[in-house]
Structure 1
């Protein structure tokens, strides 16, 4: 069943910032959400606003929370990456994570990521027997050994125009693949022949693990710092026939 991956890169200055996600979690309790928490392009030091709002998300059993860790496409010092994992793991149980989201994953297999995955898997995460691992190369990696290291891999992160050009997307391991699409405007606008619902249905039919679609334009804004105006419709489309 396809779930929703949520790059939650906005600061919760008020509870209203994360309210669209909170509403979706409550409305569709049988729909799985994979929420990426990113205080400061990494763990930073979660202030009270983060702590209280994460605690609220933790009350929903359909929210799996992963901490954002940048890897610089394999160039970031491994000691820094491992320290970020340790920092997230050390957060208080009341606002703890379930695992890690490795951004900027090198597309060609890099054995360094084995140590990163092992660190997440063997670290104690409250309420879990093993940590959850998501990697984001953002493009197709073929039948890579990375699939043995991660629960999910983002194998597409681009505009709707690029999605059209590359469709059908390669699906070597659809149950472990995630698709992120942004910028549904201009030449990438939806059409009567390609609606938001039809795009979502094509991803669900392919068996992808999760998806995120936003109509925010990457040339105009940080598409992950806010929810698009299509958020509610998108969530309902993914939920589809799921019984709640």
Structure 2
């Protein structure tokens, strides 16, 4: 028999036992290979997060726009997360300042913020827990409203007002004070869109201060440890999550990204507007090294 005949004689019939054995071994090997290349993340248990709700980052932007670059960390995250909304509180000089104009350093950056579809800008106004002369408060509202009419500076109009240091204990005069300043915002012709009104008592206000036209209230402004102590009380509040804002600073630097995400998701169940930072001081005057991490865990 020649070489060709020898080779042909070694070809296995497809119905032979040896063929079936080889096919079985091949199938086992293929299954083992698939098991090896399945991503480890699929094999191992995934972190279980609380249910999340679409959130808005509320940013107290009390940073002077020095050299035009000090706001860059904010622009970076606005651009990288276009599906995440940002409410940016502008504070040129403990409010709009004494001038009708926000200043040359502010103008181009405010215009840049207003050009983003996922940003609403809000003007800062101090109320001194109801002790500041209401005429001065109303003048600040008017100044922000007039930004829309400044010649040769289009794109400056803001979307509402953030009233800081609002009173938290009920009295008839306190309720009237808040109602009056709210109405001034809603009636301001130069403000954009919904003319958002935000109150910041920094704590849970008396129910009698849930006055008309308040869109959201900062019911917690404090360190992470204080939040932990008040968590049960905050979770029991009756209004919709869109009525509440949380500002939590001094988060533990040792908190893992998994636990940070869980924390953000848990807060998103209770509040639509969130601000988180591990900074324990100057947290409104700087972004901090972990700024992008906090933005990265915000649910959309």
Query: After TM superposition, is the score higher than 0.5?
Result: yes
RMSD, matched Cα: 1.8
Q: Counterpart of 1:26 in 2: which secondary structure? A: helix
1:70 matched residue in structure 2: 126
**Where does residue 178 of structure 1 map in the other structure?**
245
Structure 2: segments with no counterpart, 5+ residues: 1-53
Question: Counterparts in 2 of 1:118-137, with a 5 A limit?
Answer: 118-128=183-193, 130-137=194-201
TM-score in terms of structure 2 length: 0.73
**1:162 counterpart SS class:** helix
1:54 alignment counterpart: 110
3-state SS, counterpart of residue 106 of structure 2: helix
Q: 1:100 aligns with which of 161, 171, 180?
A: 161
Q: C-alpha deviations, 1:196-231, integer Å up to 9, x for none? A: 21210111123x12100111112xxx2100002221
Say if 1:30 and 1:125 are closer, same or farther in 2 by CA, change over 3 A.
farther
- 1:198 aligns with one of 262, 280, 285: 262
Flag as ranges the 4+ runs of structure 1 deviating above 6 A. none
Q: 1:151 aligns with which of 187, 205, 215?
A: 215
Change (3 A) 1:68 1:153: same
Q: Structure 2: how far apart are the matches of 1:57 and 1:193?
A: 28
Task: List alignment gaps of at least 5 residues for structure 1.
Answer: none
Whether 1:12 and 2:65 are equivalent positions in the alignment is yes
1:156-193 C-alpha deviation (Å, 9 max, x unpaired) = 000001011111324322221000011124xxx55469
Distance in 1 between residues matched to 2:296 and 2:256, nearest whole Å: 19
Secondary structure of 1:30 counterpart: coil
Number of aligned positions between the proteins: 232
Cα contact 2:222–2:248 (8 A) shared by 1? yes
